[in-house]
Chains A and B, each alone.
Chain A
Amino acid sequence: MDKENKVLELLNVTYYYQTGEQRLTILEDACFAFERGKLYTIVGPSGCGKTTTLTLAGALENPKSGEILFHGKPLQEVGYTKYRSDKIGIVFQAYNLLPYLTPLQNLLVAMEITSNPIKDKKAYGKKLLGRMGISEDQMKRRIQKLSGGEQQRIAIARAIAADPEIILADEPTGNLDHETAGEIIAIFKELAHKDGKCVIAVTHSLFFAGEADVVVQLENKKLLPQEGQL
């Protein structure tokens, strides 16, 4: 694996849920490296810990043991808040756009939070939304007046608005029909292959998984790569 392309690395990561005396282990000494310019999908049965793995990658949770490295540097050193605001963008299954803002304003929030330098934020936001197929008219509408597919495209635009290196997506096509899901997957592929982002998506969809560069199987508390088509 090309060391320079390695963006995110899980090193002997263990994570479990403790309820009283019962312990549910999700990851045990799991190791995996994610590279830029690739679309990864994490697959596995329900409840195996796919979303938990994503939250660990997003620094929304800390591993019980092991380390997560960003460009070889532990997240603790990068700083969790800085990592979240500058280095990653998250796409949620339920889109979770701020309802009191327009699509463009939602993007401006992400641009305001990040410390990454972005010139002419408004123009850049419009450009991103346009790239996602959102018209000028739709950019000014209230979020609730847009379809699920449109909202997910805006959510993706928001995730990349701060120009992060990693995009984490939790079931991004879970609420969409097959055709719209196809459009969203195409956007993710474009972000990975054209923009050089590292896109990591958790999915149940075999169709989505089949489109990924690398399918990561969460099995026996380990992350196992399956290169190429399923």
Chain B
Amino acid sequence: MNYIKRAFHSIIFYWKNALMLCVIDTVLAALILSGITIYQSCRETGNDLKEQVLAAVTVRNAKPMESDSPIGKNQLSYDRALEAMDLLPSKLSALAYSATAGTNGLKSYRSAEQSEQYPDDGQFTVCGVSSTSDYEAFQNGEITLYQGQHITDERNRNAALISTIVASQNNLTIGDYISLDTYYEGEDTQVEIVGLYDVITTKSHTGAPIKNTENIILTTTTIVFAMNGNRQIASATFKLRQADSIRASIPDLEELFSTEPDDVIKVVVDDQDYRFLSGSIHLLTTVSQIMMVSAFLMGVISLSVLAVLSLRDREFEIGVLLAMGEHRLKVILQLMIEMLVPVLIAIGISTALSSFLSRRIIFIFITNSSILTETDSIAVLSLLIISLALIVIASIGTIFQILRFQPKKLLQKMG
């Protein structure tokens, strides 16, 4: 009958104490394990956020235009934007404007008021974008693709998207060609209509018809560069991963794009989505850490108290064992095993509960959370290590007392 067997017999005999210990341990272990699970999930989700939730950095040159500048003059170097790609490993979406007039009698859209004010017909704004789907009006839902396909610089150099209204009033459809004239020193060019867009949010039609959303012809930057005779763009938007480190690059971008003394480079960072989500993740991480620390402290306190109480009830037994020549270490180990067994059972139960509990806790803080909570073996192993540490810490008082026990005093007390 060694100390291990004694411990198991004792657990069975004092089953009420063991059960109480098991219940307390289960609650604490479930809290610790949920804390670990949430913490791990938050870390993984946080890393995923950096990869998946993109932030946008838009660079413009706000240098005041000269009074005789044509409408839609671009002031930012496309080549500098390409250089910036080395600085910011990201997807570049460049926007270039070219104000132009449609040939072949292409009519622009005008409201009744505009028809009176602006008798001249056929002025359009040609926007060159790296990818039409990245165009701001598509992104914010102002316009939507009605028919056909989006275009990219690489795939459709001579392609264009026009509004359904303009297509309708000019009897144009996908596959038709339109001529784009230029006011600049560049070349006139022909483009094929590959898609039609619908204007969803109609802005007030005041001012020149060229500014109407319906009168935007979307094409590639390559076309606009050809029409403008230079490689200038209106703005460069970089879509970036690792949104948390984006702001540190602003000074470098400003320096890179400033080519002339009167340049006023404006860098606008849009990382709201990332900040909102990472804020929630940060909150949950803090909650999980608080859960773990408080459950651990509660565990230390409750297990220490239980261990000391249990020791008081069993002083005689320890006295007898010591008087019989049992080593103090084995007496300590017996008591620790008696504490460990309920803890192991508690770990088993809490492992089964923790995924559910973690989801409930996350739901309290984030109603529509997509954070996946699965308790993995690392979390369980961490809990096991924490529990062992907890038992050792909680046993310190007991160990100290047993080391101080004088069997003679216990013998006299019993007598």
Task: Show the binding face of A for B, using Cβ within 8 Å.
Answer: 51, 55, 58, 60-61, 81-86, 90, 92-94, 96, 98-101, 105, 108-114, 170-171
Which bucket holds chain B's interface residue count? Answer: 20 to 34
Binds A, one of B235-243, B258-266, B407-415: B407-415
Contact of B13 among A51, A84, A100 (CB under 8 A): A100
Binds A, one of B4-12, B74-82, B281-289, B298-306: B4-12
* A98 and B320 contacting across the interface, CB-CB below 8 Å: yes
* B10 and A100 contacting across the interface, CB-CB below 8 Å: yes
The residue on A at minimum CB distance from B317 is: A98
* B408 and A113 contacting across the interface, CB-CB below 8 Å: no
Contact of A51 among B9, B320, B326, B415 (CB under 8 A): B415
Q: Does chain A have a CB within 8 A of B324?
A: yes
Contact of A170 among B9, B327, B411 (CB under 8 A): B411
Contacts of A83 in B (CB 8 A): 325
Contacts of A171 in B (CB 8 A): 415
Give how many A-B residue pairs fall within 8 Å (CB-CB): 76
Question: Closest Cβ of chain B: how far from A60's Cβ, in Å?
Answer: 4
Q: Does chain A have a CB within 8 A of B323?
A: yes
* B14 and A60 contacting across the interface, CB-CB below 8 Å: no
* B320 and A114 contacting across the interface, CB-CB below 8 Å: no
In the complex where A81-B327, A170-B415 touch, is A61 in contact with B408 (Cβ < 8 A)? yes
What does DSSP make chain B's interface, helix, strand, loop or mixed?
A: helix
Contact of A85 among B6, B324, B407, B412 (CB under 8 A): B324
Q: Which of A82, A96, A171 has the most CB of B within 10 A?
A: A96
Q: Does chain A have a CB within 8 A of B1?
A: yes
* A85 and B414 contacting across the interface, CB-CB below 8 Å: no
**A109 vs B14: C-alpha distance in the bound complex, in angstroms?**
18
* B325 and A114 contacting across the interface, CB-CB below 8 Å: yes
Q: Does chain A have a CB within 8 A of B316?
A: yes
Question: Closest Cβ of chain B: how far from A117's Cβ, in Å?
Answer: 15
Question: Closest Cβ of chain B: how far from A102's Cβ, in Å?
Answer: 9
Contacts of A90 in B (CB 8 A): 323-324, 411
Within 8 A of A (CB), among B320-354: 320-327
Contacts of A82 in B (CB 8 A): 325
**A98 vs B406: C-alpha distance in the bound complex, in angstroms?**
19
Question: Closest Cβ of chain B: how far from A125's Cβ, in Å?
Answer: 10
In the complex where A98-B6, A105-B9 touch, is A113 in contact with B325 (Cβ < 8 A)? yes
* B325 and A85 contacting across the interface, CB-CB below 8 Å: yes
In the complex where A98-B317, A100-B9, A100-B13 touch, is A109 in contact with B411 (Cβ < 8 A)? no
Q: Does chain A have a CB within 8 A of B2?
A: yes
- 18 new A-B contacts, CB < 8 A, other than A96-B316, A109-B321, are A60-B407, A60-B411, A61-B408, A81-B325, A84-B324, A84-B325, A85-B324, A86-B325, A92-B320, A92-B411, A92-B415, A93-B414, A93-B415, A94-B415, A99-B13, A105-B9, A109-B324, A113-B326
**A24 vs B61: C-alpha distance in the bound complex, in angstroms?**
100
**A111 vs B13: C-alpha distance in the bound complex, in angstroms?**
21
Question: Closest Cβ of chain B: how far from A132's Cβ, in Å?
Answer: 18
Contacts of B408 in A (CB 8 A): 55, 60-61
* A55 and B411 contacting across the interface, CB-CB below 8 Å: yes
Question: Closest Cβ of chain A: how far from B333's Cβ, in Å?
Answer: 14
Contacts of A51 in B (CB 8 A): 411-412, 415
Question: Closest Cβ of chain B: how far from A82's Cβ, in Å?
Answer: 7
Contacts of A100 in B (CB 8 A): 6, 9-10, 12-14
Contact of A92 among B325, B327, B414 (CB under 8 A): B414
**A90 vs B322: C-alpha distance in the bound complex, in angstroms?**
11
The residue on B at minimum CB distance from A94 is: B414
Contact of A60 among B10, B317, B321, B323 (CB under 8 A): B323
In the complex where A98-B6, A98-B317 touch, is A113 in contact with B324 (Cβ < 8 A)? yes
What are 6 of the A-B contact pairs (CB < 8 Å)? A60-B408, A92-B411, A105-B1, A105-B9, A109-B324, A113-B326
The residue on A at minimum CB distance from B330 is: A113
**A154 vs B323: C-alpha distance in the bound complex, in angstroms?**
17
**A171 vs B411: C-alpha distance in the bound complex, in angstroms?**
12
Ordered nearest first, which 10 A-B pairs have the shortest CB separation? A85-B325, A100-B13, A84-B325, A108-B1, A60-B408, A55-B408, A109-B1, A61-B408, A96-B320, A60-B407
